[in-house]
Amino acid sequence: MKDESYRILVVDDEEDLCEILKFNLEMEGYIVNTANSAEEALTLDIASYHLLLLDVMMGGMSGFALAKQLKSNATTAPIPIVFLTAKDTENDTVTGFTLGADDYIAKPFSIREVILRIKAVLRRTAHQNAIDNQNTLSYKGIIINLDQKTITVDGQNVSFSKTEYELLKLLLEEKNRVFSRQQLIDRIWPSDVQVSDRTVDVNITRLRKKIGQYATHIATRQGFGYYFNA
Protein backbone atom coordinates (compact mmCIF):
# COMPACT_ATOMS: atom_id res chain seq x y z
CA MET A 1 0.00 0.00 0.00
CA LYS A 2 1.33 3.44 -0.90
CA ASP A 3 1.65 6.16 1.77
CA GLU A 4 -1.21 8.15 0.27
CA SER A 5 -3.54 5.20 0.86
CA TYR A 6 -2.94 5.22 4.62
CA ARG A 7 -5.38 7.04 6.90
CA ILE A 8 -4.04 8.37 10.21
CA LEU A 9 -6.00 9.80 13.15
CA VAL A 10 -4.18 12.18 15.51
CA VAL A 11 -5.80 12.54 18.95
CA ASP A 12 -4.31 15.28 21.13
CA ASP A 13 -5.79 18.14 23.17
CA GLU A 14 -3.08 20.51 21.89
CA GLU A 15 -4.72 21.91 18.77
CA ASP A 16 -1.51 23.50 17.49
CA LEU A 17 0.36 20.20 17.75
CA CYS A 18 -2.47 18.42 15.93
CA GLU A 19 -2.24 20.90 13.07
CA ILE A 20 1.57 20.62 12.89
CA LEU A 21 1.39 16.82 12.76
CA LYS A 22 -1.45 16.92 10.24
CA PHE A 23 0.45 19.30 7.93
CA ASN A 24 3.70 17.31 8.02
CA LEU A 25 2.07 13.91 7.67
CA GLU A 26 -0.02 15.12 4.74
CA MET A 27 3.21 16.35 3.15
CA GLU A 28 4.33 12.70 3.32
CA GLY A 29 1.20 11.69 1.43
CA TYR A 30 -0.93 10.38 4.30
CA ILE A 31 -4.62 11.16 4.76
CA VAL A 32 -4.85 12.74 8.22
CA ASN A 33 -7.70 13.67 10.52
CA THR A 34 -7.47 15.12 14.02
CA ALA A 35 -9.51 15.03 17.23
CA ASN A 36 -8.86 17.16 20.30
CA SER A 37 -10.17 14.63 22.81
CA ALA A 38 -10.72 10.91 23.17
CA GLU A 39 -14.43 11.57 23.31
CA GLU A 40 -14.32 13.37 19.96
CA ALA A 41 -12.27 10.53 18.47
CA LEU A 42 -14.97 8.04 19.47
CA THR A 43 -17.51 9.91 17.33
CA LEU A 44 -15.41 9.13 14.25
CA ASP A 45 -15.21 5.94 12.22
CA ILE A 46 -12.03 4.77 13.94
CA ALA A 47 -12.11 1.41 12.16
CA SER A 48 -11.41 3.23 8.89
CA TYR A 49 -7.93 4.35 10.02
CA HIS A 50 -4.69 2.47 9.52
CA LEU A 51 -2.87 4.05 12.49
CA LEU A 52 -3.71 6.14 15.56
CA LEU A 53 -1.47 8.74 17.23
CA LEU A 54 -2.76 9.13 20.78
CA ASP A 55 -1.79 11.61 23.47
CA VAL A 56 -1.88 10.08 26.95
CA MET A 57 -2.77 13.03 29.19
CA MET A 58 -5.96 14.69 27.96
CA GLY A 59 -8.90 16.28 29.72
CA GLY A 60 -11.62 13.69 30.23
CA MET A 61 -10.78 10.24 28.89
CA SER A 62 -7.03 9.57 28.74
CA GLY A 63 -5.21 8.07 25.79
CA PHE A 64 -4.62 4.91 27.81
CA ALA A 65 -8.36 4.58 28.50
CA LEU A 66 -9.17 5.15 24.83
CA ALA A 67 -6.61 2.54 23.75
CA LYS A 68 -8.00 0.02 26.24
CA GLN A 69 -11.51 0.56 24.87
CA LEU A 70 -10.37 0.21 21.26
CA LYS A 71 -8.33 -2.92 21.94
CA SER A 72 -11.33 -4.57 23.60
CA ASN A 73 -13.36 -4.17 20.39
CA ALA A 74 -12.65 -6.76 17.70
CA THR A 75 -13.27 -4.19 14.95
CA THR A 76 -10.70 -1.65 16.18
CA ALA A 77 -8.28 -3.95 18.05
CA PRO A 78 -5.97 -4.55 15.02
CA ILE A 79 -5.33 -0.82 14.41
CA PRO A 80 -1.72 0.12 15.32
CA ILE A 81 -1.41 2.70 18.11
CA VAL A 82 1.51 5.07 18.70
CA PHE A 83 1.41 7.07 21.94
CA LEU A 84 2.61 10.68 21.88
CA THR A 85 3.09 11.98 25.39
CA ALA A 86 5.10 14.07 27.81
CA LYS A 87 5.00 11.13 30.23
CA ASP A 88 8.15 9.14 29.63
CA THR A 89 8.74 7.14 32.80
CA GLU A 90 9.35 3.42 32.56
CA ASN A 91 5.98 2.63 34.17
CA ASP A 92 4.11 4.73 31.61
CA THR A 93 5.97 3.06 28.77
CA VAL A 94 5.19 -0.39 30.15
CA THR A 95 1.53 0.61 30.55
CA GLY A 96 1.39 1.75 26.93
CA PHE A 97 2.86 -1.46 25.56
CA THR A 98 0.73 -3.59 27.89
CA LEU A 99 -2.34 -1.95 26.36
CA GLY A 100 -1.16 -3.03 22.93
CA ALA A 101 0.70 0.06 21.72
CA ASP A 102 3.04 -0.41 18.76
CA ASP A 103 5.32 2.48 19.70
CA TYR A 104 5.72 5.18 22.35
CA ILE A 105 7.25 8.59 21.61
CA ALA A 106 7.97 11.05 24.44
CA LYS A 107 7.52 14.79 23.98
CA PRO A 108 9.33 16.88 22.97
CA PHE A 109 10.06 15.05 19.73
CA SER A 110 11.14 15.95 16.24
CA ILE A 111 8.57 15.69 13.47
CA ARG A 112 11.09 13.70 11.46
CA GLU A 113 11.33 11.13 14.25
CA VAL A 114 7.54 10.77 14.36
CA ILE A 115 7.37 10.27 10.59
CA LEU A 116 10.11 7.62 10.65
CA ARG A 117 8.46 5.77 13.53
CA ILE A 118 5.09 5.84 11.76
CA LYS A 119 6.65 4.45 8.58
CA ALA A 120 8.26 1.65 10.61
CA VAL A 121 4.99 0.71 12.31
CA LEU A 122 3.02 0.77 9.06
CA ARG A 123 5.71 -1.27 7.31
CA ARG A 124 5.62 -3.84 10.10
CA THR A 125 1.82 -3.93 10.00
CA ALA A 126 1.81 -4.40 6.23
CA HIS A 127 4.27 -7.26 6.60
CA GLN A 128 2.01 -8.84 9.23
CA ASN A 129 -1.06 -8.52 7.02
CA ALA A 130 0.77 -10.00 4.06
CA ILE A 131 1.33 -13.27 5.89
CA ASP A 132 -2.02 -13.51 7.68
CA ASN A 133 -3.16 -16.23 5.29
CA GLN A 134 -0.03 -18.29 5.77
CA ASN A 135 0.37 -20.98 8.41
CA THR A 136 1.91 -18.74 11.02
CA LEU A 137 1.93 -18.00 14.73
CA SER A 138 2.62 -14.41 15.73
CA TYR A 139 2.66 -11.69 18.33
CA LYS A 140 3.15 -8.14 17.02
CA GLY A 141 6.53 -8.25 15.20
CA ILE A 142 7.34 -11.86 16.12
CA ILE A 143 6.24 -14.23 13.35
CA ILE A 144 6.77 -17.99 13.33
CA ASN A 145 6.28 -19.69 9.97
CA LEU A 146 5.08 -23.13 11.03
CA ASP A 147 5.60 -24.65 7.58
CA GLN A 148 9.11 -23.37 6.99
CA LYS A 149 10.16 -23.53 10.68
CA THR A 150 11.49 -19.98 10.54
CA ILE A 151 11.13 -16.96 12.80
CA THR A 152 11.23 -13.28 11.91
CA VAL A 153 11.44 -10.44 14.42
CA ASP A 154 10.24 -7.06 13.13
CA GLY A 155 10.73 -8.28 9.58
CA GLN A 156 14.25 -9.61 10.13
CA ASN A 157 15.08 -13.31 9.85
CA VAL A 158 16.62 -14.55 13.09
CA SER A 159 18.46 -17.84 13.53
CA PHE A 160 17.01 -20.06 16.27
CA SER A 161 18.06 -23.51 17.44
CA LYS A 162 15.41 -26.24 17.30
CA THR A 163 14.98 -26.04 21.08
CA GLU A 164 14.61 -22.25 21.03
CA TYR A 165 12.12 -22.52 18.19
CA GLU A 166 10.02 -25.09 20.04
CA LEU A 167 10.13 -23.06 23.25
CA LEU A 168 8.94 -19.87 21.58
CA LYS A 169 6.29 -21.77 19.62
CA LEU A 170 4.89 -23.33 22.80
CA LEU A 171 4.87 -20.05 24.74
CA LEU A 172 3.12 -18.22 21.89
CA GLU A 173 0.60 -21.03 21.38
CA GLU A 174 -0.43 -20.81 25.02
CA LYS A 175 0.08 -17.15 25.88
CA ASN A 176 -0.25 -16.18 29.55
CA ARG A 177 -0.06 -19.82 30.71
CA VAL A 178 2.69 -20.39 33.26
CA PHE A 179 4.87 -23.44 32.54
CA SER A 180 7.10 -24.91 35.22
CA ARG A 181 10.61 -25.87 34.18
CA GLN A 182 9.66 -29.53 34.39
CA GLN A 183 6.63 -28.97 32.15
CA LEU A 184 8.85 -27.28 29.58
CA ILE A 185 11.32 -30.14 29.77
CA ASP A 186 8.53 -32.67 29.25
CA ARG A 187 7.07 -30.76 26.29
CA ILE A 188 10.28 -29.69 24.49
CA TRP A 189 13.11 -32.14 25.14
CA PRO A 190 13.22 -35.85 24.11
CA SER A 191 12.31 -38.20 26.96
CA ASP A 192 15.65 -40.01 26.76
CA VAL A 193 17.67 -36.82 27.30
CA GLN A 194 18.67 -35.68 30.78
CA VAL A 195 17.86 -31.97 31.15
CA SER A 196 18.37 -29.80 34.22
CA ASP A 197 16.45 -26.70 35.30
CA ARG A 198 19.59 -24.72 34.51
CA THR A 199 19.41 -25.84 30.87
CA VAL A 200 15.87 -24.44 30.64
CA ASP A 201 17.01 -21.13 32.14
CA VAL A 202 19.90 -20.84 29.67
CA ASN A 203 17.61 -21.45 26.70
CA ILE A 204 15.08 -18.89 27.97
CA THR A 205 17.88 -16.33 28.35
CA ARG A 206 19.05 -16.95 24.77
CA LEU A 207 15.48 -16.75 23.52
CA ARG A 208 14.94 -13.38 25.20
CA LYS A 209 18.07 -11.97 23.59
CA LYS A 210 17.00 -13.10 20.13
CA ILE A 211 13.54 -11.51 20.24
CA GLY A 212 14.96 -8.08 21.08
CA GLN A 213 12.39 -5.53 22.21
CA TYR A 214 9.89 -8.31 22.99
CA ALA A 215 12.21 -9.97 25.55
CA THR A 216 10.20 -8.74 28.55
CA HIS A 217 7.14 -10.60 27.26
CA ILE A 218 8.81 -13.86 28.26
CA ALA A 219 8.16 -13.34 31.93
CA THR A 220 9.06 -15.24 35.09
CA ARG A 221 6.45 -16.11 37.71
CA GLN A 222 8.63 -16.47 40.80
CA GLY A 223 8.43 -19.96 42.24
CA PHE A 224 6.35 -21.29 39.35
CA GLY A 225 8.04 -20.86 35.97
CA TYR A 226 7.85 -19.00 32.66
CA TYR A 227 5.04 -17.60 30.52
CA PHE A 228 4.51 -15.33 27.52
CA ASN A 229 2.87 -12.16 28.80
CA ALA A 230 0.61 -10.95 25.96
pLDDT digits (tens, 9 = 90+) for 146-162: 888 999 998 888 999 99
pLDDT band, very low/low/confident/very high, at 2 (cuts 50, 70, 90): very low
Averaged pLDDT, 31-35: 95
Distance from C-alpha of 185 to C-alpha of 210, rounded to nearest angstrom: 20
Higher pLDDT, 4 or 126: 126
Averaged pLDDT, 198-208: 96
Nearest to 41, CA basis, from 20, 18, 12, 64? 12
Reported pTM: 0.54
Convert the pLDDT of each residue in 83-133 to its tens digit.
887 765 556 666 656 666 788 888 888 999 999 999 988 888 775 655 555
Instruction: Give pLDDT, residue 89.
Output: 58
Convert the pLDDT of each residue in 56-93 to its tens digit.
888 889 888 998 899 888 888 889 999 887 765 556 66
Instruction: Give pLDDT, residue 103.
Output: 85
Residue 172: pLDDT over 70? yes
Sorted by where each starts, the structural domains of the chain and their CATH numbers stand as 3-130 (3.40.50.2300), 136-228 (1.10.10.10)
87, 79 contact by CB (below 8 A): no
pLDDT band, very low/low/confident/very high, at 3 (cuts 50, 70, 90): very low
Higher pLDDT, 135 or 177: 177
Distance from C-alpha of 135 to C-alpha of 192, rounded to nearest angstrom: 31
pLDDT band, very low/low/confident/very high, at 216 (cuts 50, 70, 90): very high
Mean pLDDT of the chain: 87
Instruction: Give pLDDT, residue 52.
Output: 94
